[in-house]
Structure 1
Amino acid sequence: MSDSNRRTGLYDLHIQEGGRMVPFAGWDMPVQFAAGVLTEHLHTRAQAGMFDVSHMGQVLVIPEDGNIETAAKALETLIPADVLGLAQGRQRYGLFTNERGGILDDLMFANRGDHFLLVVNAACADQDIAHLGGLSGVTVRPVTDRGLIALQGPAAETVLARLVPGVDDMRFMDLRDFDWQDAVLWISRAGYTGEDGFEISIPDTHLRAFAEALLDNPEVLPVGLGARDSLRLEAGLPLYGHDMDPDVSPAEAGLGWSIPKIRRQGGARAGGFPGADAVLAELTDGPRRIRRGLRPEGRAPIREGVAIFEAEQGGEPLGHIRSGGFGPSVGGPVAMALLDPSLPDGTRLWAELRGKRIPVTIAPLPFLPPSYKR
């Protein structure tokens, strides 16, 4: 830990719950709790895990003329997604791109009726807010008085409905406001674990009380960054700064699906975002590399930076591991790398681990099917 790192409103609760705190994106965050990463991971898959994600940036984009379409059109100059077509009370996944067509960050954006709510990565929050600050016709307002909790797993709906009746009517990617003890909660049915679940934006005044109310349920364990990473990796979900960065394009990251037809071809809304020419050409012609899943043989995890080769000896690397670790729910190591898209699933390659090459097999993503409530 460092005195220069920021602390979320749940820091003291994390310490009380046995959290092992580490520096992460300028914050002191729990990497695990007393139960340990393996137990936290499997418990989330079986019941429900509570994650403190208050370090992520929450940002409001408010149209100055009161017309939500003004904000939507402004956001479409930065995000290659259908912002204008997003209905009130719904949210989508999107990307910020740079002029070369690389990814500056990934984010969620939601239509709250008279403004948009964006949730961006902690490490990119300051640059994203500055990026949004160049938009005309809107006010960009960082949210500084709310925390954010993710409740993930098959029991998440049952648990949250005990505290907040009505959330069980929500479907995947819905966003609604609810009252809890005189506080207004912004609740979305989403998450980044592959499990059904919710993200709950809570006023700081009620953040700890709400977290404790969740933990009072026997189905809920606090979960740290370690299991959060293994859960998203099993779900085949890319992580910014690892599987995508300013030198990785949407097509290479396997995120072309987030750019709909209306932003790709023909019509007034096609293109118009940073790097559009490069991004759209690559979506049409296909990328030279793309994010692929890998299943190493044995039990040893293969982590970020490990080189991948075509043969057991010699040759130049085909690529490097971007994300890797042990997948408790799939019972073995899993990894992702940017590789030639023409290599078929089942292809055997070699990873050089501590001077020795071990076999890995290209596997389809995700490693574990998602269980969202559609």
Structure 2
Amino acid sequence: MAEDQYDIAIVGAGIVGLAHALAAARAGLRAVVIDRDAQVNGASIRNFGFVTVTGQENGAPWRRARRSRDVWAEVAPQAGIPIEHTGLAMVAQRREALAVLEAFMATDMAEGCELLEGAAARARLGEVRPRDLAGALFSGIDLRVESRTAIPRLAAWLTECHNVTFRRGVAVNAVESARVTTSAGSIAAGTIIVCPGDDLATLFPDALARAGVTRCKLQMLRLADPGFRLPSAVMSDLGLVRYRGYAALPAAAALSARLEAEQGDHLANGVHLIVAQNADGSLIVGDSHHYAATPDPFGSSEVDALILDEFAAVFGLVPPVLERWTGTYASASGHSLVETPMDGVRLVVVTSGTGASTAFALAEEVIGGIINIQLGASV
């Protein structure tokens, strides 16, 4: 039986794989995406769908987030993906948090942001009514899609408009230069991109182990419609010591010390608050962070209570919980892992939990580098 042949084969149909498929198609390459699941099921849909620019680590992660946000804004209407809302309200509950935001506003990363204090901040927040409020940063740059529908629609659009082939329910058993061996036969491709997500054992486990990649488990909830519309996504003080764009600022040290004294259990469980709203009014709320090579699959009611405690501190009420779930993603120091384990093969893993926010730009870099190599070889 003759092998199927493509210019590029992409292993993994999460957002990182789809981003590479888009970049490849735009470069004129015939692409196939292979995934062991019948439908998207992993970290790419177990999240907020929040394309976060504000607060990303300074340097390459922030630049990638800015570019990826622009790609989302471009492709979403073409693919029939609604933008649920735009912007971010970063609520400063403490004076130390306000100091972090003031320091942030002095950086280049604050483009498109506005910092308000006291009554002006409270008026802009509307129905978001923190018990304590020193001020709030408002950004109009960030945006949100509903991951559960956006990722499938993005894949369908790639097929319909960019001729990307998908092979679902197909396990990849081995990868070598110019060939992928699968449970449904082999596929030949000039370039192979392996985007394994948090599968750390099947393909190139030694490379992943050398990079110190492990798994992060998170807990999230969906709450009932509170009866009002959010002005944007909402975050709080806990996010200021977790997102590197804020946490790396010297001013964050005082906030970190105060949070350790007042909310030590939240920090110990990696809890910070992100709240985003769906078109039906329900709220996506999270999350927590626990690290292990194989995290247990069980959600903790104590951790959920910590998340909802922070929600109540910012919103003043807690609507009924409609859903609870856990998710896992690949985690290591730094934004991402990009390696060449063999000729014509790239291993690409976003290790910072920011796939939705940065994958489009990272994929453009990877595909651009491959094309430049190919062009150099043909000269």
TM-score range, shorter chain: under 0.3
TM-score, with length taken from structure 2: 0.24
Query: Which one has more relative contact order, counting CA pairs under 8 Å at least 6 apart?
Result: 2
Q: Would you tell me which structure has more helix in proportion to its own residues?
A: 2
